[in-house]
Structure 1
Amino acid sequence: MALAGAGAMLGAPSPSLAAAAPVRNHALDVILKHGVDARDVPGVVAMAATENSIIYQGAFGPRSVGTAAKMSPDTVFRIASMVKLLTSVAAMQLVERNKLKLDGPAETIDPELGSVPVLNGFDNKGVPQMRPPRKPLTLRNLLTHTSGFSYPLWDAEVVRYLKCCRTDKTLPHRPLTFDPDTKWAYGSSIDNVGRLVEIASGMPLERYFHENITGPLGMHDTTVNLSASQRAREASVHRRNANGSFKAEPQEKPTVVTSFTGGGGIYSTAPDYLTLLQALLNGGSLRGTTLLKPETVALMSENQIGDLEAGIMKTTNPALSSDVDFFPHVRKRWSFGHMMTLDPVAGGRKAGSLTWAGLLNTYYWIDPASGIAGVIMMQVLPFADAPALKLYRAFERGVYHAIKAA
């Protein structure tokens, strides 16, 4: 496979990073290039920063295997569930403005959330058993994935339930799988947060993002609908062939998305997303733009689910996702918008770091104790792909080693 890349700035910087000058680091270049050469991933863009400066930026491999287009810092990626952080930020902005409440019944904003039943197992004929929840859903439940909404990709009971829905059209399409506050499960909670943001703000979610988050921060490549020039910079999604090589999936057909919920379905670049991470790392502000108050950012950085374990998911479809446990033997919890690692990770982030990911193996982390944030973007299935995670871990360790050595 022909490979190409660069660890320094390529072309004009993103407007969101115009004040920064990325630093080249040979050791990090080697890590990323080796990941592509070894066919761990088809291509990669990775960046790391402190609160106010970029400490590394690298891009290696092709945007699509078999083509001449090379990865570059402005390569556009589908970041899937990494949009959940933006939706969470939007909700917390409205909490600050007293338009949303963390602990009031969410049905006072969206009445549909007051009629969602709990799936209470199946009878001996396989018929789903439904009952009312024992407490109302809150924004806090939705932000922390303690609502009871669960994705079928990581919940066999939901898969079984959806099969029943095909023959019984009277069944509700999205039940809770447990009572709010009793468990953690990753699911469509943030889609419901997006709807709350729309109702409370009186505008579509994409417009809310543009006016309150991406526009003020200069994140001009973070969008639901790509322009022609952005689509020309898009990386392809890849799958592995039996021999370890990669096959690029056909690019999606250009369409205008009119329904956007905030749980997935957005595009971005590494520089754009790192800008958001820097703002949060810096207490909610960056270069004269304030997203959130420092006390709100602090609240988003705290464990919000007590002793409930988070972040461990068993796949129901190995072609789309491997089993998920990014940090074995590390205690994991959930805050508002992120998974938290309560323990330090060997050679990398410190205790209290924040993180999450997107289905196509895009990842970020914020380490408040070290003052470091990082992002690494790849486009390959399945999610939590072992070779992609290996490169992510190697990049993270390399960042911390480079900082110690500086």
Structure 2
Amino acid sequence: MDIAGTLKDAVDSGAVPGVAAAAATDKGVIFEGGAGMLRPDSVIWIASMTKAVTAAAAMQLVERRKLSLDAPASDVVPELGSKGVLEGFDKEGKAITRNPQRPITLRHLLTHTSGLGYDTWNADIMKYRQATGIPAVGSCQNAALTTPLLAEPGERWEYGISIDWAGKMVEAASGQRLDRYMTERLFVPLGMSDTGFAIGPAQRLRKARMHTRGPGGFTVMEHEIPQTPEFHMGGGGLYSTVSDYLKFTQALLMGGGPILKPETVKLMAQNHMAEGVLCRPLKSQLPHMSTDLDFVDGMKWGLSFMINPTAFPGRRSADSLTWGGLANSYYWIDPAKKVTGVWATQLLPFYDPRAIAAFENFERAVYASL
């Protein structure tokens, strides 16, 4: 099947309500298309695809020696120095914490080994939130970032709010709000005119609607990230288009120009988890938001990317970079074969099996076309 055919099939079969996708090689864009209600310029919530953008912003500041990967992050954002490690709850349901043995670093934050978690996939964070009444991270209220550590920094992979804190570090080191910094240092240089935390009037006309899957098919739901947030959610707050996001992944594929140095991109693409630390399965605490996730054995983490240890037949090479967003949007960057792709729908819960299969069909078609 050709690339466009995989998108049409995904919609016609009922796998997704609509889909947009784009792909490129080192020679340039090879595909942009959509099916159903989505087009390459449809504005979508990219959720955790924001993480790689925040990491790029942080690494620019590492290049400029305004941030360090291994200095205590609390040197820049003091609040990180007061976080305790959660040891349990007393009879009244109050959290019991202890002081960590080592400080959190930017490297810990970018690899999700800081000890910080998400309530979506961690029962203890869910219990802590319910006991304290603090808001969910999607509220973009600063109080949402006050949850404790679940493990000693560096000792365990725990997917969570780490990169929201990396965004706070970018703000502190640059003296700019995250939206302004990203616009000036990333989006303008790359020509990403449809990407940002706030949805402009032109983008709102093209904003895709969010859907949930039920027994009778798809239901439209109201969903929007706060447009006047207390903090810009560096872990998941951006809106973009597949055409725009492809410009970002192309830049990383081609060595970082004009936003990062080649040696920085190479560093980001290496495993940065400590020896023996592995990606752990994620057990959903909010089934309407995410399914359970497991990972291919040996998956590693670079500076914001998951790295697959072996090649996927007919698809990406070993050591390719990838991640996705909560509403079933995904990307990959394959440095070996020089190909990158972005695929997106607006469907909850995350990691929907039929959406994943449709994404994999798209990826296979991209490689078959080369």
Q: Could you say which TM-score interval applies, normalised by the shorter chain?
A: over 0.9
Counterpart Cα distance in 2 of 1:395 and 1:143: 28
Counterpart Cα distance in 2 of 1:147 and 1:132: 14
Say which of 164, 167, 176 aligns to 1:194: 167
SS in 1 for 2:330: strand
SS in 2 for 1:373: strand
1:51 shift after superposition: 2.3
Match of 1:380 in 2: 347
CA 1:254 to 1:309, structure 2 compared with 1: closer, same or farther past 3 Å?
closer
Match of 2:285 in 1: 316
Q: Deviations over 1:90-141 (max 9, x none)?
A: 1000000000011011111111111110001234665422100010111111
Counterpart Cα distance in 2 of 1:137 and 1:252: 31
Say which of 109, 129, 141 aligns to 2:108: 141
Instruction: Map 1:3-402; keep pairs closer than 5 Å.
Output: 27-62=2-37, 71-123=38-90, 126-166=93-133, 173-243=146-216, 245-250=217-222, 252=224, 255-257=227-229, 259-285=231-257, 290-305=258-273, 306-310=275-279, 312-325=281-294, 327-328=295-296, 330-402=297-369
Match of 1:6 in 2: none
1:258 shift after superposition: 5.7
CA 1:356 to 1:251, structure 2 compared with 1: closer, same or farther past 3 Å?
closer
CA 1:219 to 1:237, structure 2 compared with 1: closer, same or farther past 3 Å?
same
Q: Deviations over 1:286-306 (max 9, x none)?
A: xxxx21111110000001114
SS in 1 for 2:341: strand
CA 1:307 to 1:371, structure 2 compared with 1: closer, same or farther past 3 Å?
farther
| TM-score normalised by the chain length of structure 1 | 0.85
Counterpart Cα distance in 2 of 1:186 and 1:294: 27
Amino acid at match of 1:312: P
Any unmatched runs of 5+ in structure 2? Answer: 135-144
Is the CA contact 1:224–1:257 (under 8 Å) kept in the aligned structure 2? no
Is the CA contact 1:165–1:173 (under 8 Å) kept in the aligned structure 2? no
Is the CA contact 1:239–1:247 (under 8 Å) kept in the aligned structure 2? yes
- Using the TM superposition, name which of 259-268 and 212-221 deviates more: 259-268
RMSD: 1.8
Q: Deviations over 1:237-268 (max 9, x none)?
A: 0012312x211113649944463131111100
Counterpart Cα distance in 2 of 1:338 and 1:382: 21
Is the CA contact 1:311–1:332 (under 8 Å) kept in the aligned structure 2? no
Counterpart Cα distance in 2 of 1:336 and 1:102: 10
CA 1:253 to 1:277, structure 2 compared with 1: closer, same or farther past 3 Å?
closer
Amino acid at match of 2:260: L
Is the CA contact 1:87–1:194 (under 8 Å) kept in the aligned structure 2? yes
The percentage of aligned residue pairs carrying the same residue is 45
Amino acid at match of 2:185: N
Counterpart Cα distance in 1 of 2:250 and 2:50: 16
Counterpart Cα distance in 2 of 1:184 and 1:151: 12
- Using the TM superposition, name which of 302-311 and 195-204 deviates more: 302-311
Amino acid at match of 1:260: H
Amino acid at match of 2:240: S
Counterpart Cα distance in 2 of 1:389 and 1:173: 33
Amino acid at match of 1:58: G
Counterpart Cα distance in 2 of 1:203 and 1:401: 44
Is the CA contact 1:162–1:173 (under 8 Å) kept in the aligned structure 2? no
Any unmatched runs of 5+ in structure 1? Answer: 1-25, 63-70
Counterpart Cα distance in 1 of 2:74 and 2:223: 39
Counterpart Cα distance in 1 of 2:233 and 2:181: 12
Match of 1:19 in 2: none
Counterpart Cα distance in 1 of 2:338 and 2:224: 38
Q: Deviations over 1:63-97 (max 9, x none)?
A: xxxxxxxx221110000111111110010000000
